[in-house]
Amino acid sequence: MAPDGDHFRVRLTHSLEVAQIGRTIARVLGLNEDLTEALCLAHDIGHPPFGHAGEDALKAALADAGGFDHNGHTLRALTHIERPYPRWDGLNLTWETLEGLAKHNGPVRHPGWALREADARFPLDLATHAGLEAQVAAIADDIAYDNHDIDDGLRAGLLTLDQLLAVPIVARGWDAARARFPDVAPKRLASELVRSQIGTMVNDLIEETRRRIAASGVASADDVRAAGEALCGFSPAMREEERDLKRFMYANLYHHPRQLAAADAAHGIVAGLFAAYRADPSAMSADWCEGVPTDEPGRSRYIADFIAGMTDRFAIARYRELVGAIELPEGF
């Protein structure tokens, strides 16, 4: 979720930034740039409104219907819900795209119902690692939100530079930026910190991935899938530093009291919408309410499909229309 205002990152802008990073890495490594970009752009399509808070609410609402998982829902949206063609459901995507979206975070040994359904239609070899393009997309995602959340956290006033300088990788980057631009104001230099830190992570990733590829002896995409381990990744030292940064961000930004209050409100909105549509499916849009299944778990899953396709603002508006007034916390 973004704080109040239109100048913070949302899923769309985040996905564009992931694609920029992913495509650059793919180009340097000689991978399929188009496939990498497609995976980066589509990796968060399955997120419901309010991101992980909305996902938790739908997971609870569908507890008796198989639950909800945003990664599985990405495949469901792209192979079932979207229907622009007259002869089949879903988009006309390659197997490599579907496989990469299913497994970009690694092998899936216990898929949820949505991913199992997609796998039944397009066998995706869920127990193996995906190709290198998907592995790049996964770490480009980490690099993007690790660094751009610093930018948003500073601008929102949820983080301070003094706090951030307790993280070693940030402190080194700040010292280097100050040395290069000693006369630049700290507020403007924060953007250089974020930019250069992305470059540091990307360069480390490229060097380490090249080393792993050479050591593994892989010569094809099938060899990559059969390698038994991820070949794209940070060096051990960078991996630890990136984990330190994540721990800091969880403690100081993602679990900030304002963020937690916003997440609680978001959970209530999604849960309230599900209950309202469950009680009266005709309240959904006309093109949805006509096809509501009569039996479970199809009925609950169908309602969740509708809610998962909402934007944050649309969800808030529908909640106020169907459930009632809601007082949103500061920074929602």
pLDDT at 329: 87
Helices (H), the chain: 11-29, 33-42, 51-61, 70-76, 95-103, 113-121, 132-156, 161-164, 168-180, 186-216, 221-225, 236-249, 257-279, 286-289, 298-308, 312-322
- The total number of structural domains in the chain stands at 1
User: Can you tell me the mean pLDDT for 20-25?
Assistant: 98
Q: The CATH number of the domain where 302 resides is what?
A: 1.10.3210.10
Residue 6 has pLDDT above 70, yes or no: no
Give the whole-angstrom CA distance, residue 223 versus residue 168.
Answer: 37
- Express each pLDDT in 275-327 by its tens digit: 999 999 999 999 999 889 999 999 999 999 999 999 999 999 999 999 999 98
List, for residues 28-58, the tens digit of each pLDDT value. 999 999 999 999 999 999 999 999 999 999 9
Q: Where residue 65 falls among pLDDT bands split at 50, 70, 90? A: very high
Q: What is the pLDDT of residue 187?
A: 83
Identify the domain containing residue 252 by its residue range. 1-332
Confidence of residue 331 (pLDDT cuts 50, 70, 90): low
Residue 119: partners with Cβ closer than 8 Å, 6 or more residues away: 102, 111, 126
Q: Is the pLDDT of residue 98 over 80?
A: yes
Question: Considering the entire predicted model, what is its pTM?
Answer: 0.94
Q: Is the pLDDT of residue 172 over 80?
A: yes
pLDDT of 3 > 50? The answer is no
